[in-house]
Amino acid sequence: MEKNFTKEVLKKVKNLEIKTKNLVNDALAGHYHSVFKGQGMNFSEIREYVNGDDVKNIDWNVTARQGTPHIKKYNEERERTIILMVDISPSTIFGSAQSKKELIAELSSVLAFSAEKNNDKVGLILFTDRIELFIPPAKSRTHLLRIIRELLFFKPVGKKTDILKVLNFVNKTFSKTVVAFLISDFSINNLPDNFKTKIKSSGKHHDLISVRVKDQNEIDIPSIGIITLEDLESGEIVEVDTNNSKTRKVYKELIKKRDDNISNIIKACGVDLLDINTNQDYMPTLLKFFTLRERRA
């Protein structure tokens, strides 16, 4: 039984690797490289000044010794550190076309392989209302396959979502700027008072990008009679008459109000927010995001 389980794990990991690598090569080639530039410049060499060079780069000591103007030449420091902060709370199990967890795993793999193609380090943080797993940033195919395996098969202990917990962890763990993808369904009905403050401070310290994963059936309840709804994080159970159009409308308005509130806070903090849905292709959204970031760069 253990042998069969191991084979199934390896098969799923391999399939996801193939699919996401193809997406990276076919659709995202060049975009990632343009969007996420290096953190600074590395000194390369000193050469003679030529017309058009930036005079700010003149090395006056060498110029004085040689008798002719010389400049310092720099190369961009390309390597970045990418951190995937992935919500694996019980609410991500839900999905109609596919589960939010499966979509999150696929999207995270695409980002990880895009980073690998750019020779960047990738780290993973799985969180609920606690830090469930931390894989420090590294570079290698084996490392990325481990990330995929954990995304697919890790079993969390926590039952709720605590965004602040993972942001605090990243801020304390990384003193240098990292590209931090916060990937969650943001199923938080009561935001903590300091949610905006923490998002804003994290966005200033790091290149923070929020990705919200939704399922259409959580927004538009289908008319299928009386159903039992369970909040997967609180355990609360309620019966809802979905044939009642007023009930469906009130529910949709409540969800929209919650989502709009989160959107407004994140955007007001100057942090990018991507919305993806389990019943839609996420690649156009990702490509649009990269294109907008390129224009801003």
Q: Mean pLDDT throughout 43-66?
A: 78
Q: Please tell me whether residue 164 adopts helix, strand or coil conformation.
A: helix
Where exactly are the structural domains of the chain?
2-34+79-296, 39-77
Length in residues, the chain: 297
**CATH says 2-34+79-296 is which class?**
alpha beta
Task: List, in order, residues 6 or more apart from 145 with CB less than 8 Å away.
Answer: 13, 17
Sign of the four-CA dihedral 44, 49, 51, 56: positive
Q: Tell me: the pLDDT tens digits for 204-252?
A: 999 999 999 999 888 877 777 777 766 656 666 777 777 888 888 888 8
Over 80: is that where the pLDDT of 277 sits? yes
Q: Are 193 and 256 in contact (CB under 8 A)?
A: no
Q: Which residue has the higher pLDDT, 64 or 295?
A: 64
What pLDDT score does 103 carry? 93
What pLDDT score does 34 carry? 66
